[in-house]
Amino acid sequence: MKKRIWGTLSSFFPPKKEGLLGINIANDRFIQSLIRYSTFDELHFFFVDRHFEYRFREAYADVISQFHGVLCFFAREDLPQQLQKNDYTVFHFSDQLLHAHDFSYIRNRYGNTPITAFIHSLSYCDSLSSYGRFHLGGFSSCDAILCSSTPGKEVLEYQLKETARKQDRVCTPIQRIVVPLGMEDIAISVPKNKVRAKLKIPKDARIALCMGRFSDYDKMDLVPLLQAMRLMPQNAILILAGNVQSEDYFAMLKLWIKALKIQDKVLIYQSPAEGLKKGLFRAADFFVSVADNPQETFGLSLLEGMSAGLPLLVSDYNGYKELCSNDVGVRIPTSWVKTPSMSELSPLLDAGRLHRQLAQSLALDNAVLRTELFSLFTDPERCERLGQAARKRFLSLYHSPVVIAQLEEVWDKLKQNYVPAEKAENIMEMDYSETFSHYPTHWLTKSTALRHTDFYHFWSTTGVDYPILSGLREWVQKDRVRWIHARIPSTVGELEQEWDGDVERLHYTIQWMRKQDLIAEEG
């Protein structure tokens, strides 16, 4: 039976504490779930540098031990050989903008595997230059961009069509398929009162949890939510928890809480560790998120809330529209205004500043926010009913095993129906030897006669291995160096006749040896 092999060029390293963005968290959760639940025989990682393998194995040691298949690690330079050697089921990328398109040209030359990539934030205008290149060729009709939500897919569809129209080109044939992000179940069995006691929260309090990084320019402005808390019942508590992305905004929020005189109604947990984070979800009665920024495509924190069995109170915006169905929570209506001058200047503006301006023009219906917030604070039975439905929805649609199975179904279908892409050249591929052909004094030729140098004779008596710089392992190998030394003196042409490998590697090794003064040209 043919092996099913999954390949990638993406690193998927766990996010650093100071870089807890949605894309980092999503990719970290995905790769752990893939290793834990996928049915692939082999997973192949083509890292930019081989030492990444050690970092990867260290970071994911626990889940790797659960994988039934084989993990293989290669350098990017190995791609042509491995694509010819293996019939890959799919090559998947962590980001639709990073490497997938450039890889398509290598795939077209050496292999027959579909390519897929996740979308993440779609509101940064520099991504449009990448989409513009998609229309130049490379992708097949059996490649796909995996969209985490239907609203996100609609954004991508518009961006692709517009970049094609503006260049007077046919739109790329790459498919756009909706597959949600997934995550592990974070529900814990510890009684709610016990968790609250540990957190020193009154057991009769009603708690709303808002989990997300503190940043108005790329997450959400919390001011409307804080102002709504001023009118909530005495036992109502809002927990704000997350990483601080904007120190200035975080400081302003704390001052605003004091100005509103709601210090007794708002608790802040900065950068909570994973254990505390799970405890906060267990302690809460419902989850709230008033996202107002176009960079938000999906909403991982909503999945966490649903996993914990919490009803949702969220803005009717972006991927939240799809995640928060009427049976699991309430969506707060939003309104926006057209700002063509912002669009016109968008390529010239600072991305953070632009997104702040865009977000501040999106208004929630504050009356509905106040009404529904009050209802969830005062109606435990409603919360219980919505929360049970939320957990059921999570387990059926967004739990990691479910999502990985859905992805494998998509990948297998793309492979089964694979049609090669039309041949095209990559405009980003630079022919260095032609571009810089006039730079060197002369070129290595078959007639170049080679001899050992005085330095070689000195070095060969030391018994010390000659140092080879990092990043050259795919081009310069000790056994190849020894093979050449054993046949010197010789011409390049004579070495080519005896060489049983890639002649390009032979030529490179010869030039490296000349550079290191181990061999030299006769005469």
Convert the pLDDT of each residue in 183-197 to its tens digit: 999 988 899 999 999
DSSP character string of 134-147: HTTS---TT-EEEE
Is 250's pLDDT higher than 70? yes
d(CA 98, CA 103): 10
Give the tens place of pLDDT for each residue, 351-375. Answer: 999 999 999 999 999 999 999 999 9
Give long-range contacts, CB 8 A cutoff, 24+ apart: 427-435: 427/133, 427/136, 428/102, 428/133, 429/102, 429/105
Going through 175-317 in order, the beta strands assigned E by DSSP cover 175-178, 206-211, 236-242, 266-270, 286-289, 312-315
pLDDT of residue 16: 62
Return the sign of the alpha-carbon dihedral for residues 292, 296, 300, 302. Answer: positive
Q: Residue 461's pLDDT is what?
A: 92
In this predicted structure, what is the pLDDT of residue 69?
A: 84
Per-residue pLDDT, 185 = 94
pLDDT at 254: 96
The stretch 292-320 carries a mean pLDDT of: 94
Mean pLDDT of 134-163: 96
Mean pLDDT of all residues in 185-212: 93
Domains of the chain, with CATH numbers?
5-183+406-416 (3.40.50.2000), 198-398 (3.40.50.2000), 432-521 (no CATH)
In the chain, % of residues over pLDDT 70: 98
- Residue 13 or residue 113, greater confidence: 113
Chain segment 31-88, per-residue pLDDT in tens: 999 999 999 999 999 998 877 888 888 888 888 888 878 899 999 999 999 999 999 9
How many other C-beta atoms are found inside a 10 Å radius of the C-beta of residue 425?
Answer: 10
Residue 393 predicted with pLDDT over 70: yes
Determine the average pLDDT of the residues in 432-440.
Answer: 95
Closest CA to 96 of 143, 154, 43: 143
Structure tokens at 445: 């030729």
Instruction: Tell me the H-state helices in 460-502.
Output: 478-485, 492-498
Give the confidence band of 15 by pLDDT, cuts at 50, 70, 90.
low
Which residue do the tokens 């959400």 mark?
A: 220
Q: What is the pLDDT of residue 240?
A: 98
* Interacting residues of 501 by C-beta distance below 8 A, sequence separation 6+: 480
pLDDT of amino acid 473: 83
> Over the chain, what is the mean pLDDT?
94
pTM, full prediction: 0.92
CA 103 to chain centre: 16
**Residue 419: DSSP 8-state:** -
**Contact, 387 vs 286, CB < 8 A?**
yes
- Classify residue 338 as exposed, middle or buried by CB count within 10 Å of its CB (0-12, 13-18, 19+): exposed
Q: How many CB atoms lie within 10 A of CB 14?
A: 17
The pLDDT-based confidence of 251 (bands split at 50, 70, 90) is: very high
pLDDT reported for residue 18:
46
Give the model confidence (pLDDT) of 485-508 as tens digits.
999 999 999 999 999 989 999 999
Flag whether pLDDT at 457 surpasses 90: yes
Lowest average pLDDT, out of 15-24, 33-42, 104-113, 289-298, goes to: 15-24
How many whole angstroms separate alpha carbon 410 and alpha carbon 116?
Answer: 10
pLDDT beyond 60 at 20: no
Q: pLDDT-based confidence at 227, cuts 50/70/90? A: very high
Whole-angstrom CA distances from 438 to 361, 435, 443, 504, 510 are 55, 8, 10, 20, 21
Mean pLDDT of 227-242: 97
User: What pLDDT was estimated at residue 25?
Assistant: 85
